[in-house]
Amino acid sequence: MNFGNLDLHTTWFILIGVLFTGYAMLDGFDLGVGALHLFTKEDQERRTMLNAIGPVWDGNEVWLVTGGGALFAAFPNVYAAVFSGFYLAFVLLLVALIFRAVAIEFRSKQPMRWWRQMWDVGFAGGSILSSLLIGVAMGNIAWGIPIDARGEYAGTFLGLLRPYPLLLGVTTVALFMMHGAIYALMKTDGALHDKLRGWINNCIIFFIICYAVTTMATLLYVPHMAARMRANPWLFSIALLNMLAIANIPREIHHGRDWRAFVSSCVAMVALMGLFGLEMYPNLILSNPDPANSLTIHNAASSEKTLGIMLTIALTGVPLVLAYTVSIYWIFRGKVKLDRMSY
Amino acid sequence: MDVLTLSRIQFAATISFHYIYPPLSIGLGVMLVIFEALWLQTKNPLYHQLARFWTRVFALTFAIGVATGIVMEFEFGTNWATYSRYVGDVFGSALAAEGIFAFFLESGFLAILLFGWDKVGRKLHFFATCMVCLGAHFSAIWIVVANSWMQTPAGFHIVGEGLKARAEITNFWEMVFNPSSMDRLFHTLCGAWQAGAFLVVSVSAWYLLKKRHLEFARASLRVGLVVGMIASLLQLVSGHESAQGVARNQPAKLAAFEGLYETTTNAPLTLFGWVDEKNERVTGLAMPGLLSWLAYGDAKQRVTGLREFKPEDRPPVAWSFLFFHGMVAIGFGMILVSALGFLDFWRGSLFDKRWMLWLLVLTVLGPQLANQAGWFAAEVGRQPWIVQGLMRTPDGLSAVVKANTVLASLILFTLIYFLLFAVFVYLLNDKIQHGPDDADLTPSGKLALPERRQS
């Protein structure tokens, strides 16, 4: 396909943002359900939680796989620098993702108490650790990481665990927990539903505190982000949308409109990711302390030709993916009922 | 050990373990489509029971396949960052296409395949099963295309110099249909079909030996044997075509596969033997002229030997030879066993021949070992290149990753994968011991509705 004089670099910056936002919105809720998993005590409740995400978690994780593949294809220099630079962090992320994936599949296959508890811990631990590490990675990207003249990461593993990225990690766990709790609310009924309704306020409060601290820390300690906001006052409208969406969540929950609360939570994520992207653009990786070495949508990209081919692939594939993903969510709508096929 | 050795061991270990599962997903996917089609066609609930039982086994293999697959995507960047920069423009696009066209399709419809039995009608469920199977095949297409590009690069040019040099696509379709991709795809898929079919054969034969679930086991064995035999015979064709491709495109690799040092006409094929790399000699039983004939269809043709290549451009000969010959031997063994088994089945004498049934139980290992050996032959035989003729393996490493870091991750992955494998075998055995569910003989939910009322 010929895309004329379309700015393919910016298009792919947006598309990768869309893929990772899709990942946050979708896998976010099943990671959140995982983070809440150990709070439920009875076996029946835990199975209900697992089966709430049962048919969809796998497809949700594909957003990460495809996002990673798209990053590899569109901006190979970023993929190479981040994945080799964050080596140990990403290995830990893989371990966490492996454990939660197989825990979902294995847990209910045997009746023994120790067996189920072992995989329950694997599922919850894996979910919390993945959320935390994803947040830490985002925090490092926002803060900027040392990049040398070759475009390689010049820091250490411990260098990734500074306060600001860790704060963003905790905020991500809180965000996913809230998101997951709302999703679980939509998928359950009876005693578990009432229990979740009690927890959800704590989740919201936990998230709002984290969110407020992160926002302040960003404005105070991440000067390039604050400067971008001051230079482009219209960005405040997105921040405002984000705040309104977050504020709307407890309101909808209070009125028992769980579906709308979920949509609000999704809107908040889109606004957060949008704001993040707009503040980074055109950088993909900001080099801190030496901004001259930053990896941008221009110096880190594949050739125009490849970006064009990839856009053709995306325009063919994504509508199909969206169509059947929506259909599958529709088929599995409604409250979870445990049966022979359940986990 | 240095970073290079550790990174290579880690990649080999993680990909070998991962590759136990995708062939099962692909092969069992085909089996599920067949079982469900038979059910729709004959309305015999036995086939419904078959589909349900093998779906549960499929779910188990699929979960581990997904979990260990993400590791592979990450490892290109974590351990082979320089390689990733060099090939991202070409290789990355195949990987991204795999995500969009294959993984979404597979995992999306998997939901209906596993959990949708009672929620959707028969036809929609069958459609979902077909889509999962198709998605599994698509995933094979794109990753084999990407790997084949590393074997026989095409449709690209090199831009930039020194550290900034990289491959960029000039023609997407030439890249996709590079000289080896279609032969190797066919070969890989045949191996996957064998893996799925012989798992079915093996479990069914075991039930027959133990005199359990007889009716179920007979039906299951029949379909498994037919698919397994067809796949094994096709494998002969695809293997031959792949080898001819190697002769044309990667002569050093072919010479290593056969331990051929001297360029010669009437080149011999060593049937059994071993390579003494130091003295550049092969000991074993050889058929004169057969290699020339197989590679070029003419016994008089000249086959290039390893001495034409500088020592630093040669693959490790003894290993390439061993893996390649191991694969070929198992491949012929599979044809023989499945043909004998099928003959006995056809005559009706199979169920009394206990040794034959035991042999069929063991067939599950054949495709697994041959798939591993084949990939080892393909990858070891490409050495010292990571991308044939363009980039050497040591030059693809991540610049910033240290040896002890890789050692740590290697130990971690090894421990976890041993645990996963133990749990997998335990649960698989449990499912097999438990056997098919009698309740599955009466389809429930929407599946139970008469055909007319289906939407």
In this predicted structure, the answer to whether residue A4 has a pLDDT above a threshold of 90 is no
Chain B positions touching A310 (Cβ under 8 A) are 93, 96
Answer whether B119's CB lies under 8 Å from B446's CB.
yes
Residue of A nearest to B412 (CA): A95
Over residues B18-31, the pLDDT tens digits come to 999 999 999 999 99
d(CA A180, CA A175): 8
Over residues B362-385, the pLDDT tens digits come to 999 999 999 999 999 999 999 999
Residue of A nearest to B120 (CA): A331
Q: What is the mean pLDDT of residues B223-243?
A: 93
Chain B positions touching A87 (Cβ under 8 A) are 78, 398, 400-401, 405, 409
Q: How confident is the model at residue A158, as a pLDDT?
A: 87
Q: What is the mean pLDDT of residues A53-67?
A: 89
Are B100 and A314 a contacting pair at CB < 8 A?
yes
Answer whether B413's CB lies under 8 Å from A92's CB.
no
Side-chain half-sphere CA neighbours of A262 within 13 A:
18
In this predicted structure, the answer to whether residue B446 has a pLDDT above a threshold of 80 is no
Are B60 and A95 a contacting pair at CB < 8 A?
no
Helix (H, G, I), strand (E, B) or coil at B280: coil
Q: Using CB atoms, which residue from A80, A325, A328 is nearest to B81?
A: A80
Over residues A217-249, the pLDDT tens digits come to 998 888 888 888 888 889 889 999 999 999 999
Q: Is B339 on the interface with A (CB under 8 A)?
A: no
C-alpha pair distances (Å), A123 with each of A59, A110, A131, B281, B318: 17, 16, 12, 54, 44
Q: Which of A340, A325, A322 is nearest to A55 (CA)?
A: A325
In this predicted structure, the answer to whether residue B450 has a pLDDT above a threshold of 60 is no
Are A59 and B59 a contacting pair at CB < 8 A?
no
DSSP 8-state secondary structure symbol assigned to residue A91: H
Chain A positions touching B139 (Cβ under 8 A) are none
Report the gap between the CA of A317 and the closest CA in chain B (Å): 6
Over residues B144-171, the pLDDT tens digits come to 999 999 999 998 999 888 778 899 999 9
Are A331 and B116 a contacting pair at CB < 8 A?
yes
In this predicted structure, the answer to whether residue A341 has a pLDDT above a threshold of 80 is no
What is the rounded radius of gyration, in angstroms, for the C-alpha atoms of chain B? 23
Report the gap between the CA of A267 and the closest CA in chain B (Å): 23
Chain B positions touching A76 (Cβ under 8 A) are 84-85, 87-89, 92, 166
DSSP bridge partners of B284: B273
Are A90 and B109 a contacting pair at CB < 8 A?
no
Size of interface A-B (CB pairs under 8 A): 228
User: Judging by beta carbons within 10 Å of its beta carbon (0-12, 13-18, 19+), is residue A255 exposed, middle or buried?
Assistant: exposed
Alpha helix ranges (H) inside A75-189 = 76-85, 87-106, 113-143, 163-187
Chain B positions touching A64 (Cβ under 8 A) are 70
Mean pLDDT of chain B: 90
Over residues B304-332, the pLDDT tens digits come to 888 889 988 999 999 999 999 999 999 99
Q: What is the band of B445 on the pLDDT scale with cuts at 50, 70, 90?
A: low
DSSP bridge partners of B168: B157
Q: How many CB atoms lie within 10 A of CB B94?
A: 26
Q: Using CB atoms, which residue from A62, A85, A306 is nearest to B107?
A: A62
Report the gap between the CA of A243 and the closest CA in chain B (Å): 32
Chain A positions touching B91 (Cβ under 8 A) are 72
Q: Which of A334, A180, A333, A186 is nearest to A259 (CA)?
A: A186
Q: Using CB atoms, which residue from B79, B99, B169 is nearest to A65?
A: B99
Answer whether B399's CB lies under 8 Å from B81's CB.
yes
Residues 403-422 in B contacting A (C-alpha not used; CB under 8 Å):
405, 408-409, 412-413, 416, 420
Answer whether B179's CB lies under 8 Å from B152's CB.
yes
Report the gap between the CA of B62 and the closest CA in chain A (Å): 10
DSSP 8-state secondary structure symbol assigned to residue A292: G
Residue of A nearest to B64 (CA): A102
Cα angle: A141, vertex A58, A138; to 5 degrees:
5
Q: What is the mean pLDDT of residues B67-86?
A: 92
Q: Using CB atoms, which residue from A64, A102, A314 is nearest to B67?
A: A102
A249's CB contacts (< 8 A; 6+ apart) are: A178, A182, A204, A261, A264, A265, A268
In this predicted structure, the answer to whether residue B454 has a pLDDT above a threshold of 50 is no
* Run of H or E including A324: helix A304-331
Chain A positions touching B59 (Cβ under 8 A) are 105
In this predicted structure, the answer to whether residue B455 has a pLDDT above a threshold of 70 is no
Answer whether A155's CB lies under 8 Å from B400's CB.
no
d(CA A173, CA A178): 9
d(CA A5, CA B141): 32
Q: Using CB atoms, which residue from A151, A309, A318 is nearest to B93?
A: A309
Q: Is B67 on the interface with A (CB under 8 A)?
A: yes
d(CA A331, CA B25): 24
pTM confidence score: 0.91
d(CA B315, CA B310): 10
Q: What is the mean pLDDT of residues B114-123?
A: 86
